Amino acid sequence: MIELEGFAVHPDKIARAQEWMALLKSHQEAVNATLVPEHITVERIFSLTVNNQMYLCWYSEQTAPSPDVEESSNPIDQVHVAFWHECIDESVPSMKFRLENEFVNPSLIGK
């Protein structure tokens, strides 16, 4: 399963969102460890600004649906969820991307 979805950041929380991304990056090993129980093989976070609205966009490749991160007892997940509640404006509809095509280097197929 491949997903890409963008979420609006509260305009007054852009600096905090940047701190959030820096925190995740500085705790790379701990974040990577959370991917196993979430069935995630790859997760990437992009930022995008559209009409002066900042979005954080999550791209993931999963082998099965992920459990709800809000229920995780992992400390890095709990920090992540706290930042989410502080920074993401859930009153703005998310941007849900639909996969139209996928292209893979033939030398990587079957590896």
CATH of the domain at 25: 3.30.70
Q: Structurally, how many domains does the chain consist of?
A: 1
Determine the average pLDDT of the residues in 28-54.
96
pLDDT tens digits for range 8-36: 999 999 999 999 999 999 999 999 999 99
Task: Tell me the three-class secondary structure of the chain, residue by residue.
Answer: CEEEEEEEECHHHHHHHHHHHHHHHHCHHHHHHHHCCCCEEEEEEEEEEECCEEEEEEEEEECCCCCCHHHCCCHHHHHHHHHHHHHECCCCCCEECCCCCCCCCHHHCCC
CA–CA separation, 17 vs 34, rounded Å? 20
> Is there a domain that residue 15 lies in?
yes
Q: Please, which pLDDT band fits residue 110 given cuts at 50, 70 and 90?
A: confident
Domain that holds residue 13: 2-96
Q: Does any domain span residue 110? A: no
The pTM of this model reads 0.90
Residue whose structure tokens are 């400390």: 75
The answer to the question of residue 111 being in a domain is: no
